[in-house]
Amino acid sequence: MGALARAVFGSQPKRAQIALHGSFATTGLGHGTDLALVAGLLGMTPDDVRIPHALEEALSAGLSVEFTSVELGEVHPNTAEFALFDAAGNMMCIRGSSLGGGEVVVTAIDGFEVIANGELPLLVVDHTDRPGVIAAVTGILADSGTNIAEMRVSRERRGARALMLIETDVEVDDVCSASIAKQPGVSSVRHVPAV
């Protein structure tokens, strides 16, 4: 889950506040959940021999980590909420759950409900909710020959900030991404590789 959060964030964060919910909060630290989450944020794979020392590795890499407990209501008991910060202080909040057997899912990005499991490349498009933005983005993808496997759009309210989460069969190239970023109403575009 840490690796998927890192992928959505776009880089290794400089600071991470990780709030643990449910069984993660009650038994996670004793079971090494803290180590696994931090290892993922550092880009380690599940078989990395450094995982037992992930907290020390984080310090060496310049990643400051803080853990807290949180009650998130009716969500999976193995849920964590990451507040990730880059060097400039920009923050992204990512919520995800560990479903067991190595299966993870991101369920929220900056307050928007999403579903992303990292199995396919993902395009995250922050935009203003207005007519034509979704059509422009999907048109650019179609013109580039990129097939959409799944898409979800969430908005704060009509005419306000919105988020497109687009899973594609292949990773979107930089030219296509730049074209999407230039569309009226689009604030940012992020590539998230399959994890």
Rounded mean pLDDT, 13-26: 91
Gap between the Cα atoms of 181 and 176, Å rounded: 9
- 131 and 56 fall within a common domain: no
Q: Which residues pair with 101 in a beta bridge?
A: none
**Nearest CA among 177, 175, 166, 178 for reference residue 120:** 166
- 110 and 128 fall within a common domain: no
Give the contacts of 149 (CB within 8 A, at least 6 positions apart).
120, 167, 168, 169
88, 116, 144: which is the final residue of a domain? 116
- Taking only the tens place, the pLDDT of each residue in 67-108 is 999 888 888 889 999 999 999 999 999 999 988 777 899 999
Residue 11's domain comprises 2-116
